[in-house]
Amino acid sequence: MRGSVSPRLVSCPGYDGRVGYVANMSTDPAARGRGIGTAVLRAALAWLDAQGVQRTDLHATPEGQRIYEKAGFGPPGSLGMRRIGP
């Protein structure tokens, strides 16, 4: 398993440190359906909540949309999704 959490976005216009962004989450097809992606997402969101982040954005694939909706993300449009507050 690989992953990283950066305390700040290096160069992302419009983001000021108060907005979280989940990017490039994926689970090996052989490991899907075991709750790994859900656990990683929950850990990332808990970390963002602990930092005081009130809004988290992401762009979901159709395959990943359900996991994000279960975590409280809703659609602002297309497959871009947003979660407000913890």
Residue 9 lies in a domain: no
84: three-class secondary structure by DSSP: strand
Strands (E), the chain: 19-22, 55-59, 74-77, 80-84
Residue 50 lies in a domain: yes
What's the confidence (pLDDT) of residue 81? 66
Residue 7 lies in a domain: no
Q: What pTM does this model have?
A: 0.70
69: which 2 tokens? Answer: 């909706």
Residue 26 lies in a domain: yes
| Structural domain harbouring 42 | 19-84
What's the confidence (pLDDT) of residue 15? 55
Q: How many domains does the chain have?
A: 1
Q: Where are the alpha helices (DSSP H) in the chain?
A: 36-50, 65-70
Instruction: Look up the CATH number of the domain holding residue 67.
Output: 3.40.630.30
The string of pLDDT tens digits covering residues 30-71 is 988 999 999 999 998 998 888 888 888 888 888 888 899 999
With 60 as the cut, is the pLDDT of residue 4 above it? Answer: no
Residue 2 lies in a domain: no
Residue 34 lies in a domain: yes
62, 72 Cβ separation under 8 angstroms: no
